[in-house]
Amino acid sequence: MSWKTLDDMDLSGKRVLVRVDINVPVENGHVSDATRIERIVPTVKDILAKGGKPILLAHFGRPKGKVVLDMSLRVTLPALEAALGRKVRLIETLEGAENLTDEALASEVLLLENIRFHPGEETNDPDFATRLAQLGDVYCNDAFSAAHRAHASTTGIARHLPSCAGRLMQAELQALDAALGTPKRPVMAVVGGAKVSTKLDLLGNLVSKVDCLVIGGGMANTFLAAIGLNVGKSLCEHDMADTAREIMIKAGAAGCEILLPADVVVARDFAAGAPHEVVGAHACPQGAMILDAGPQAVARIITALDNAKTLIWNGPLGAFEIEPFDAATNAAARHAASLSREGKLISVAGGGDTVAALNKAGAADDFTYISTAGGAFLEWMEGKDLPGVAALKA
């Protein structure tokens, strides 16, 4: 482990600048989902327990370097205080943070107003990073979800202060290392979603890292078409056929087995409860569209899961939002969850649709780790260095 954690830091009497992600959904002036806020609680409480004063740095929305009142972090205060069980004081300006009053210093937790109100944040301006760093004695990054951004609050500050990972960042990095860094083999990946074109780097990296790759969703249609099968009216990137074949050749050379659906669920209409049938992957009717993997395909995936020791999951196997085209995703996810619960499988999942699909299947709670990091999770899986993680190693 090449980065420090809170366990490695002396925080007694220190001001700790903590980069967090509390970019939460808001409806009618209230936080509608406090998951991201709840996930920073262990870090903040550990800092307080070690005698430190947390000063939270966070973004909210995309104000693009200007003060936008609708994007003030003030809206998060009630949810933050409820999660932490203590008062949180909003510091509205950088100047206010540089000249804290005795009243402000008496607060246990301080929150600096939206860091992206400052143009120097997203440009990683050295002078702005220096000013931020002077607010604290120690820097703690607990926002893995922003670690793929080289911003002042994710990388710039780390050049000036003793730095460490917060508990959420630590958990994320340990989970990802267990999945792709030093995994227990065999390693299996499930990659679904609509388009091959958005996941080229991901597929290219995974075929050299995993032993078995399941391709599902609209992406599978592109691969089926690439091997000469008719996919009817299905969502399919026919112009990516050469690329799909190249990925299959690369997988073969690396000893990675690619699992494409042997049978599929087809329908003429993309609608809940639409008339549908199961056909062989080679027998999609001309006027139909493939909307899910079939039972034979699911059986093969379940067998592969039984043989695997590590699973990485990104994207659904079918049009999971609409019944009955959620069946393959639900069955595979629940089996992976069961194996994880029994201690037979290390399962790591991430990406927007992935979290929604696993929640819908009732499988999320039993996966070993579910990342809410979105873009950062994908870039890590693509084998890219994340600036916010690299900065902690300096």
Overall size of the chain counted in residues: 394
36 classed as catalytic:
yes
Q: Which pLDDT belongs to residue 373?
A: 86
Q: Which pLDDT belongs to residue 372?
A: 81
pLDDT band at 221 (very low <50, low <70, confident <90, very high): very high
Choose, from 65, 374, 375, 383, the residue flagged as catalytic: 375
pLDDT band at 200 (very low <50, low <70, confident <90, very high): confident
Q: Between 35 and 57, where is the model more confident?
A: 57
Q: Which CATH class is domain 183-381?
A: alpha beta
Per-residue pLDDT tens over the stretch 340-358: 999 999 999 998 789 899 9
Alpha helices in 50-189 (DSSP H): 77-84, 94-98, 102-105, 119-122, 126-133, 167-176
Residue positions in the annotated binding site for substrate?
A: 21-23, 36, 59-62, 116, 149
pLDDT band at 1 (very low <50, low <70, confident <90, very high): low
CA distance 82 to 63: 26
Is residue 372 helix, strand or coil?
Answer: coil
The residue type of 89 is: R
Specify the CATH number for 6-166; select among 3.40.50.1260, 3.30.70.890, 3.30.200.20, 3.40.50.460. Answer: 3.40.50.1260
Choose, from 36, 167, 209, 300, the residue flagged as catalytic: 36
- CA-to-CA dists, residue 394 to 155, 178, 390, angstroms: 10, 22, 7
**Tokens of residue 306, six digits:** 């039984």
Residue positions in the annotated binding site for ATP?
A: 199, 321, 351-354
Judge whether 6-166 and 183-381 match in fold.
Answer: yes
CA distance 68 to 116: 10
CA distance 129 to 135: 10
Per-residue pLDDT tens over the stretch 106-148: 899 999 999 999 999 999 999 999 999 999 999 999 999 999 9
352 classed as catalytic:
yes
Residue positions in the annotated binding site for (2R)-3-phosphoglycerate?
A: 36, 116, 149
Cβ neighbours, 10 Å, residue 197: 12
Q: Note whether 344 and 310 are within 8 A (CB).
A: no
Q: Checking DSSP bridges between strand 212-215 and strand 346-350, what pairing results, if any?
A: unpaired
Domain limits of the chain? 6-166, 183-381
Element (H, E) at 344: none
Inter-helix orientation angle 77-84/41-49, to 10°:
60
Q: Is the pLDDT assigned to residue 105 strictly greater than 90?
A: no
Q: Is the peptide bond before 119 cis (omega within 30 degrees of 0)?
A: no
In percent, how much of the chain has pLDDT > 90? 88
Q: Is the pLDDT assigned to residue 15 strictly greater than 70?
A: yes
CA distance 18 to 49: 15
Choose, from 65, 96, 352, 374, the residue flagged as catalytic: 352
Residue positions in the annotated binding site?
A: 21-23, 36, 59-62, 116, 149, 199, 321, 351-354
Q: Note whether 244 and 226 are within 8 A (CB).
A: yes
Is residue 207 helix, strand or coil?
Answer: coil
252 classed as catalytic:
no
Choose, from 4, 15, 45, 195, the residue flagged as catalytic: 195
